[in-house]
Structure 1
Amino acid sequence: MSYKTILVTDSHPIRTVTLNRPERRNAMTREMQTELIGVMEETAATQCCALILTGAGDAFCSGLDLSELQKMRDKTPAEHRADAERLARLFVALYELPVPTIAAVNGPAIAGGTGLATLCDFTLATPAARFGFTEVRIGFVPALVSAFLSLQVGDKRCRDLLLTGRLFGATEALQFGLVNEVVEREELTPRAHSMARSLLANSPQSVSATKRLLAAQNRVWLDAAIVAALESNAESRESTDFREGIAAFLEKRKPVWKR
């Protein structure tokens, strides 16, 4: 299967998926999200035993692409809902993939990029990596990531990261448990492959069964949280803050919020 926004490299039984829009800091488009869903589904049906997710160039993923933001001002509620459902499908596909996943975070991973990086089973990051759920800064609601983040770091820390929208580095992400290891840039790819090879020593059926078990234990919570997130997302995109946030971002100015 051919892809336009990602590169898929197989070194059997390890698969590497590279976000391949370096000129746009690997920002996500609708096409990239769809291709990532496709490669997750394809991977689940192959003999692949580990998947490495990384970014081309100096960034992992800078979040949603500017072109997608420009389109948002003219979208209908149904179109906004479809966008949110596609992102939810991507996050769930990555989270529930039956083979181990390793994120090799080579640079900034912002907003949805932080979601992709931290939803993997293992997250390796360089000292230059930066993370942040920055949605509230531009009038968005970090609805979908909130469901998964709360499971990962707990309610108090989740509120800190989502309500402030602040950026944080690899060392702090390590302290939060969102990153497993911080490694130098030149060691990132070798370490990711070394970790993948070490996982191959385990029973593939046992590993898949364990991942299914963990997903099942969280499914009731996640299913309800994602439904609530989709509703919150749809509601927020009808708000004046959402429209002002997009306008300010596109016009490269500070937003003016109505109090």
Structure 2
Amino acid sequence: MSFLTVTELDLVAYVKLNRPDVRNAFNPEMIHEITQTFHSFNHRHDLRAVVLQGEGKSFCAGADLNWMKEMVNFTFHQNREDSLKLFMMFEAIAKCALPVIGMVHGAAFGGALGLIAACDEVVAEEGTQFCFSEVKLGIAPAVISAFVARKTVPGKVRPLMLSAVVFNPHIAQQAGLINEVVPAGEGHTAVQKIIHNYKQCGSEAVRETKKLLNDIDRLSWEQLRDRTSTLIAERRASSEGQEGLKAFLEKREPSWRN
């Protein structure tokens, strides 16, 4: 049984969380499926972007209730192994070679905010409710914190994580969790505009830029000097870089826009 619906259209993969009866809450099987699906995109040079969205009335409610019931009886080691798999799911999205666009509606609670934080760009519809709900349950937003922290404004998101208050898309945007707020029902239109922007760019250049941005925080100054100068030299000499530069100088469209 699949918990995802994956479709492809016009060089874009659409990944839809498909457990609407439980507001797309994830369980271990769904976590594994999401992880494997996003790993598979790393080998797809024919695709330009991935859209992550939810079926039904909500984007995602976080952890599944039955899964949470099982956690109560887990040992420390079982909990740690379980949490590592959750981390690897978020990591698979964050490190996906393709740009990942999140389209959020309805509600995004708990671990769902980890999915959002792992995306490169996120559109949320008006009326969506957000909540770092973990502390209300006596646990912590621990696994998602690594992904949330690298994307958000610390002073804005800290009280939201500590208080577990429900907040709206505009607060989420101020915190840096999402990029754009659109009227209800217009998320798809906004996502198509974002996809259009990506398609204007060289696909290899986008992939290499994302890889650099993912690595930049862990590199020393000397490593940055070497990595960045090497990357720009490689891109200038690449067939895509040559085509892009020539197209600019010749005042024509590069081949990937045709």
TM-score by length of 2: 0.81
CA distance in 2, matches of 1:62, 1:220: 35
Partner of 1:193: 192
Who is 1:115 aligned against?
114
Deviation string, structure 1 residues 180-215 (Cα, Å, up to 9, x no partner): 111123211122123112211101111011100011
Matches within 5 A, 1:167-246: 167-219=166-218
Pairs aligned (count): 219
- Output the CA distance in 1 between the equivalents of 2:15 and 2:186: 18
1:30 aligned partner: 28
Larger Rg: 2
Match of 2:186, SS? Answer: helix
**1:220 Cα offset (Å):** 6.7
Distance 1:82 1:149, change over 3 A: same
Secondary structure of the 2:14 match is strand
Deviations 1:106-144 (A, max 9, x none): 210111111112321111001121111110000111112
Gap runs ≥5 in structure 1 = 222-259
Structure 1 stretch 47-56 or stretch 185-194: which is displaced more? 185-194
RMSD: 1.6
Bigger RCO of structures 1 and 2 (CA < 8 A, at least 6 apart): 1
Q: Confirm or deny: 8 A CA contact 1:49 1:99 kept in the other structure.
A: yes
Q: Deviations over 1:140-171 (max 9, x none)?
A: 11112222222222433332121111111111
* 1:4 paired residue number: 2
Deviates more, 1:190-199 or 1:136-145: 190-199
CA distance in 1, matches of 2:97, 2:185: 29
CA contact (8 A) 2:117 2:147 kept: no
Taking a change above 3 Å as real, the CA distance of residues 30 and 196 of structure 1, as seen in their structure-2 partners, is: same
Deviation sequence 1:24-56 (CA, Å, 0-9, x none): 000011111100001101111112210000000
Instruction: Look up the match of 1:138.
Output: 137
| Paired position in structure 1 for 2:56 | 57
The aligned counterpart of 1:80 is 79
Relative to structure 1, is the Cα distance of residues 154 and 220 closer, same or farther in structure 2, using a 3 angstrom cutoff? farther
Instruction: Using the TM superposition, name which of 70-79 and 147-156 deviates more.
Output: 147-156
Mapped to 1, the partners of 2:138 and 2:47 lie a distance apart of: 40
Secondary structure class of the residue paired with 1:26: coil
Provide the identity percentage.
Answer: 32
CA distance in 1, matches of 2:218, 2:115: 18
